[in-house]
């Protein structure tokens, strides 16, 4: 008897929807936040500094600057890098729009370089093709949590006097050639959205080893204001401060920082669970000809923010949309990460044509993101595997 997918009248694998990602908050986290609520400082207090120092230590960076969200982290890094009108910045099209939007916020121009066919990260050879005398920086994205080719990218930057801003929103805890992501380039940004490795509700971080960049980041997150006596144009007393740049109110609260500190104590356990789930998916899907998986590398370790499968739609009777809808009908909360940035209507209006990055567009047309988060149970994993196998088997040519 044929095991019909739910969209074809069959019985769903699950009764309730399994999300693709979800935070894991426990009593320790709650009590950390309660402690701040009972304290004297709800914001601009001691928890911020403590969170920044412990985070910097975890990722192996000299400095960390906490901000309101991952987009604010990208914007702050773009500002600190000196990106301005007329500057071009090369980035990947397979990312959330914020990776490119931060360039526009500074008046710069995003330039999209195609991805590698194997690991779906930005291709260093494609970066070289897109270089011009206006190129100011490179923003590689560690897609799904797998580090991009940082040695090659940083060498391109060195030869051309460019700044590298790593978008590590997916990659907290990832390892590149024996070193933790966070201290390997000029700046690295992280996100603490609830679906990420740790959460502060909303929040972000920029890490750097450069003292000058560090001070620019600090000013930018607080209206461009400086209280550093040695940097003031004049000194009228302890109360005196100066707005020296146009910054933003991108501060994180102590409430959020306390949650982040508590979550940071669990990050290794969260990473281990993500890697266990990913390993089980890889074992289950590696021999299914209708599915291709992201190629990993022996010299790096993914943080597995996302688990993405690429459908070989030529082997199926239907396209990606039908498979996606069938999996949703099985109550598997699949998603798609991402629409190539330049295909969004706003970016098309800026003159970015379709067909700009063929490999990125091909990946987008056939990708589906499966649920992966530490709070998943072994039964949740089994349900995902069963649903994917059921739907693929039914729609196989």
Name beta bridge partners: 231.
none
Q: Are 261 and 47 in contact (CB under 8 A)?
A: yes
Please say if 130 is a catalytic residue: no
d(CA 29, CA 18): 23
Catalytic residue among 38, 50, 130, 196: 196
Q: Are 3 and 394 in contact (CB under 8 A)?
A: yes
Q: Are 144 and 168 in contact (CB under 8 A)?
A: no
Which helix (H) or strand (E) segment holds residue 58: the answer is: helix 46-59
Cα 132 to its chain centre, rounded Å, is: 27
d(CA 390, CA 393): 5
The tokens for 212 are 């000058």
Which helix (H) or strand (E) segment holds residue 50: the answer is: helix 46-59
The alpha carbons of the chain give a radius of gyration, in whole angstroms, of 22
Catalytic positions, written as ranges:
196
């Amino acid at each position: 008897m044929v095991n019909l997918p739910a969209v074809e009248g069959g019985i769903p694998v699950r009764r309730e929807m399994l999300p693709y990602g979800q935070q894991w908050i426990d009593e320790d986290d709650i009590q950390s936040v309660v402690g701040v609520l009972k304290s004297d400082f709800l914001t601009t207090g001691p928890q911020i500094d403590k969170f920044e120092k412990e985070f910097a230590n975890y990722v192996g960076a000299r400095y960390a600057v906490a901000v309101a969200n991952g987009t604010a982290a990208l914007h702050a890094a773009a500002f600190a890098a000196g990106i301005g009108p007329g500057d071009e910045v090369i980035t990947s099209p397979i990312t959330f729009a914020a990776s490119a939007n931060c360039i526009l916020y500074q008046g710069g121009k995003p330039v999209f370089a195609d991805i590698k066919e194997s690991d779906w990260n930005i291709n260093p050879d494609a970066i070289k093709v897109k270089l011009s005398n206006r190129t100011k920086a490179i923003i590689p994205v560690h897609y799904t949590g797998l580090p991009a080719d940082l040695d090659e990218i940083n060498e391109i930057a060195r030869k051309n006097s460019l700044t590298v801003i790593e978008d590590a929103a997916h990659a907290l805890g990832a390892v590149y050639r024996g070193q933790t992501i966070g201290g390997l380039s000029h700046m690295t940004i992280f996100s603490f959205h609830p679906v990420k490795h740790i959460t502060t509700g909303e929040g972000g971080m920029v890490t750097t080893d450069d003292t000058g960049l560090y001070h620019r980041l600090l000013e930018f997150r607080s209206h461009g204001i400086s209280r550093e006596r040695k940097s003031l144009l004049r000194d009228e007393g302890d109360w005196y401060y100066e707005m020296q740049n146009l910054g933003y109110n991108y501060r994180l609260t102590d409430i959020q920082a306390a949650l982040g500190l508590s979550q940071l104590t669990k990050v290794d356990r969260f990473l281990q669970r993500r890697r266990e789930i990913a390993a089980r998916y890889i074992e289950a899907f590696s021999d299914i000809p209708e599915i291709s998986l992201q190629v990993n590398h022996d010299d790096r370790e993914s943080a597995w923010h996302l688990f993405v499968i690429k459908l070989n739609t030529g082997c199926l009777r239907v396209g990606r949309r039908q498979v996606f809808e069938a999996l949703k009908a099985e109550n598997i909360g699949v998603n798609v990460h991402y629409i190539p940035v330049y295909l969004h209507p706003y970016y098309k209006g800026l003159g970015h044509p379709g067909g700009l990055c063929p490999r990125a567009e091909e990946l987008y047309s056939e990708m589906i993101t499966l649920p992966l988060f530490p709070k998943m149970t072994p039964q949740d994993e089994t349900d995902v595997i069963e649903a994917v196998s059921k739907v693929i088997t039914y729609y196989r040519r």
